A and B are shown apart, each in its own frame.
Chain A
Amino acid sequence: MPFSAQPPASGEPYVLTASLDNARHLSSILRAVHFQDHATCFATANGLRVTVEDAKCIQANAFIQAEIFQEYAVQEESVTFRINLSVLLDCLTIFGTSSLPGTSTALRMCYRGYGYPLMLFLEEGGVVTVCKINTQEPDQLLDFDFCSTKVVNKIILQSEGLREAFAELDMTSEVLQITMSPDKPYFRLSTFGNAGSAHLDYPRDSDLMETFHCNQTQTNRYKISLLKPSTKALALSCKVSIRTDAQGFLSLQYMIRNEDGQICFVEYYCCPDEDITEAEM
């Protein structure tokens, strides 16, 4: 085997090293935020965060905790780099996306530091793939400053309930209007498309409703095109938390359980569309 194919031994000067027995745990969660080519990776001792943004209006974060990895080490307080997410996903799934039961792709990831490429070593059935993905200058990321004290309304739903709803949403509508209220209709999704308006109501005592904390009636609109990418995360998730703050910013947190039963999170932040007039309410 040529020297380049040897995974580096630990103790070499890498600021980030991580190993996974099953690369799919990483690739499936990254696919949930893959709506733009580029992503910013942010690694700390707690784990890895991958952030994707679009049009300064939406931000998606995938969190992969350190515990998910079999080996995980960060030599500095934090390590940040920008990377082409499409390329990273192609590399992670080089041996195919649907692996047979009993076979999995092992992964070792190394990053030497600023200016160096991200190295991936993948192995399946004795076949080794080495990838060198060039890293880029990190972007200035949006700060949605969504802390729990500012949250006005919060709902936790079983994802299956929302999956059906999103599959049936009228995509000819430009916006999705979300109403959260301590009174009826409690939680309402509305669209205004070519064929007319549609409202979808979830009563607060629904079996799908895990938590219902609404303090105030809020009606906000969000560009449906911006929310569409989040359906990828919705499809994988088991639970979703929907929160809004006083300014109408939306936070969607998806809890994703991987094949080994470990929990990961994907989070979407979206800013509201322009104010709505009284008549439309």
Chain B
Amino acid sequence: MIEMLLYSAITLYGVAILIALYRIAAGPSLPDRVFALDIVNVNLISGIAIISILLDTKAFLDVILILGILAFIGTISFSKFIERGVIIERKRND
């Protein structure tokens, strides 16, 4: 029963990722795409969590944490890029 639920959950996450992918590919504006990438990341985190349950291992918890951090950093850097045109600003005026 649990296993079936997990399978259906991961399938739904997969569908969500596919939909987000469509947005990445087609999205009319850049923020659309960045947002969709964030969704992909979040769904990936959930997917990996479910896979670790299915595989019955703790080894992938690190991956989940790292992905969480990276998804955050990635989205931030994209946003900064969209807003300022650069990611790392120069403090000096030379």
To the question of whether A and B form a pair in one complex, the answer is: no
